[in-house]
Amino acid sequence: MLPFRLIYHDGYDLHLGAHVFPSIKYRLIRERLMREGFACEQDFQAPEPVSDEDLLLVHERGWLERLKNGTLSYEEIVQLEIPYSRRMVEAFWLAAGGTLLAGECALRDRVGFNIGGGFHHAFPGHGEGFCAIHDVAVAIRALQKRGRIERALVIDCDVHQGNGTAAIFAGDSSVFTISLHQGNNYPAVKPPSTLDLHLEDGTGDKEYLQRLRTAYEFAVEGFRPDMVFYIAGADPYQEDQLGGLSLSMPGLRERDRAVFGFALKRKIPVVVTLAGGYAEGVEDTVTIHCNTAKEAREAVAMVVS
C-alpha cells in the first residue's frame, strides 16, 4: 500500500462533453495508477460532498443557492465557461470535500493527494475559467476553523494565475499565496497574490525551476506554514493547448520533486490538487498527473528512510 491516501470519486467527472477541459482525466488517472501497479483499491478513499457550512466560510450564500437551484444568469454561465448541469454542481461539491479530506489525511500521512480539485479561479460570489467552487480555500478555512492548522501556504503551479485564490486571501496574514504562471495568459485581470511570478512566453525548465525554488524556499522558510497546498497544474507542459510555457515532462517531475521535498524535509504536510491540463492528447495530461503522485511517494520515502 501507498504511504498516503489517493482521494477520488467517480463523481469528479463534470460531464462536460466535447470541451477543452477533459474532466474524464480523473477516472483515467485512477485507472492508469491501478494498471501500472502503483496503487491498489485500498489506496483510494472516497470523499463526501463538502458541507454548505464549510462552503460558507468562503462563498456567498446566494452563489451557492444559484448553483444548487440551477438559476445562474446567462452572464454567470458565460463567465464560468462550462455548461451547467446537476452533475457539474455535484462534482464541485465532491472536489471540495476531497481537498478537505486530503488536508486531514496530510496531517496524518505527510501527503494528502486529491485526484481532482485545484479550482483556483473561483471567487466568493461567482465562478470563472471552469471553476465554480474554490476547494483549496474552503479546505484552508475549514481546517483553520477546526484548529487543525493556523498558517497555510498555497504554491500554485498552474500555467494560469490563481486570481480567485489571490482575491479570497488578500490581506490575510495567515495564508501566503504564490502563483507561478505565464504572464501573458488568462486571466486578463490578475489580483495580486502574496507573491506573483509572471513568466515570459516560452519559459523552459531551467528558468522555471530556478524561479520556483527561489520563491518557494524563501516563502517556506520565512512564513513557516503548518501546511502547504500544492496546485499541481499539468498545463505548463510544452504541448498544452491553453498554455504558452515550455516545460518538458522531466521538468515537471523536477517541479513536483522540489515542492514535495523542501516541505516534507521540514515536516510540513503537503496537500495536492491537480488543477488544469489541456494537452492535445489527454494521455499526456494523465501521465503528468500520475508522475506527480509518483514523486509524492518518492518524497515520503526519502523522509521516512
With CA atoms as reference, report the closest residue to 225 among 134, 150, 137, 121: 150
Q: Which residues contact 77 (CB under 8 A, 6 or more apart)?
A: 83, 84
Query: Using CA atoms, how far apart are residues 152 and 194, in angstroms rounded to an integer?
Result: 12
Question: What domains lie within the chain, and their CATH numbers?
Answer: 6-304 (3.40.800.20)
Average pLDDT, the chain: 97
Name the stretches of the chain with pLDDT < 50: none
pLDDT of 63: 98
pLDDT of 305: 74
pLDDT of 124: 98
Which H helix or E strand runs over 273? Answer: strand 270-273
pLDDT digits (tens, 9 = 90+) for 126-153: 999 999 999 999 999 999 999 999 999 9
pLDDT of 304: 83
> Is 121 among the catalytic positions?
yes
pLDDT of 15: 87
Query: Using CA atoms, how far apart are residues 70 and 86, in angstroms rounded to an integer?
Result: 8
pLDDT of 139: 98
Q: Count the residues in the chain.
A: 305
Statement: the pTM of the whole predicted model exceeds 0.95: yes
pLDDT digits (tens, 9 = 90+) for 8-40: 999 999 989 889 999 999 999 999 999 999 999
pLDDT of 222: 97
Q: Which of 9, 59, 120, 121 is catalytic?
A: 121
